[in-house]
C-alpha cells in the first residue's frame, strides 16, 4: 500500500478556517446592514415628515425646507447609530467621531439636496409629489455614501481580541512588573 493512498491512516481534517471566517464576516455585515437600515428607515421617515411639515406650514423654498429636515434626521440618526447600530464600536474618541459624523453627514446633505435642487431648479419639477420623489431619491443616494463613510471612518470597529489558548495563559499576568509588585505586596502582608 502506498502512503496516504487509502486515507485510513490520515488524521481527520478540520473544516477550512477561511470559509467559516467568511461566513461569520458576512453574517456580521448582514446584521450591521439590518441595524443600519432600521435606524436609517426611521431617519427617512423623520426626514420626510419634517420636510412635508415645514414645506406645508411655512413659506420656505423647497430646498431650504429639505435642508432643515435633513439636519433633524442627522441628529436622530446619530443617536440611533451610536446607541443601537454601532453601540459595540470604539467609543474612545467621541470628539473625533462626532466631527467625522458631521463632516460625512454634511457631504450626504449636499448629495441628498443636490438631487432635489437639480430636479426643482434644473428641470422645474417642483410639485409636492415630484419634490417628495426626488427628496426620496436623494436620500437613497446619500444613504449609500453615508453607510460606507460611517462604517469606514466614523464608527470604527474595536481591534479583535486574541483568543485565550490555555486557561493558564489567562491567569498569567501581562507584565513582569505586575508579578514583582504582587510578590512584594504579599511578602509585606506576611
pLDDT(68) > 60: yes
- Work out the number of other CB atoms within 10 angstroms of the CB of residue 158: 10
Largest CA distance in the chain: 91
- Reduced to 3 states (helix: H, G, I; strand: E, B; else coil), residue 132 is helix
Question: How does residue 166 score in pLDDT terms, banded at 50, 70 and 90?
Answer: low
pTM (whole model) above 0.85: no
Question: How does residue 12 score in pLDDT terms, banded at 50, 70 and 90?
Answer: low
- Reduced to 3 states (helix: H, G, I; strand: E, B; else coil), residue 13 is coil
Phi and psi at residue 52, to the nearest 5°: -70, -35
Q: Where are the alpha helices (DSSP H) in 81-127?
A: 94-117
Smallest Cα–Cα separation from 34: which of 147, 154, 112?
A: 147
Cα-based torsion angle of the residue sequence 109, 111, 112, 117 in order, rounded to the nearest 10 degrees = 110
**What tens digit of pLDDT does each residue of 115-141 get?**
999 999 999 999 999 999 999 999 999
pLDDT(190) > 60: no
**What tens digit of pLDDT does each residue of 74-123 get?**
999 989 988 888 888 777 778 888 898 899 999 999 999 999 999 999 99
The residue ranking higher by pLDDT, 65 or 18, is 65
Cα 190 to Cα 180: distance, rounded to the nearest angstrom: 16
Q: Give the per-residue pLDDT at 109.
A: 96
Smallest Cα–Cα separation from 28: which of 140, 164, 165, 160?
A: 160
Q: Where are the alpha helices (DSSP H) in the chain?
A: 17-57, 62-80, 94-117, 128-149, 167-171, 176-189
pLDDT(177) > 90: no
b/e per residue 5-43 (b: at least 16 CB within 10 A): eeeeeeeeeeeeeeeeeeeeeeeeeeebeebbeebbeeb
**Grid cell 437613497 in the structure block, residue:** 140
Amino acid at each position: 500500500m502506498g502512503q496516504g493512498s487509502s486515507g485510513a491512516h490520515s488524521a481527520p481534517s478540520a473544516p477550512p478556517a477561511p470559509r467559516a471566517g467568511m461566513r461569520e464576516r458576512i453574517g456580521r455585515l448582514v446584521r450591521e446592514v439590518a441595524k443600519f437600515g432600521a435606524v436609517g428607515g426611521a431617519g427617512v421617515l423623520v426626514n420626510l415628515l419634517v420636510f412635508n411639515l415645514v414645506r406645508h406650514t411655512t413659506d420656505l423654498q423647497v430646498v431650504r425646507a429639505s435642508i432643515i429636515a435633513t439636519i433633524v434626521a442627522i441628529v436622530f440618526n446619530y443617536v440611533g447609530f451610536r446607541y443601537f447600530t454601532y453601540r459595540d464600536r470604539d467609543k474612545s474618541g467621541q470628539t473625533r467621531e462626532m466631527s467625522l459624523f458631521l463632516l460625512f453627514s454634511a457631504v450626504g446633505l449636499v448629495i441628498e439636496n443636490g438631487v432635489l435642487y437639480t430636479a426643482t431648479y434644473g428641470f422645474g419639477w417642483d410639485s409636492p409629489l415630484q419634490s417628495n420623489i426626488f427628496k426620496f431619491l436623494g436620500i437613497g443616494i446619500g444613504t449609500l455614501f453615508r453607510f460606507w463613510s460611517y462604517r469606514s471612518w466614523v464608527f470604527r470597529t474595536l481591534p479583535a481580541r486574541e483568543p485565550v489558548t490555555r486557561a493558564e495563559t489567562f491567569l498569567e499576568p501581562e507584565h513582569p512588573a505586575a508579578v514583582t509588585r504582587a510578590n512584594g505586596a504579599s511578602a509585606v502582608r506576611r
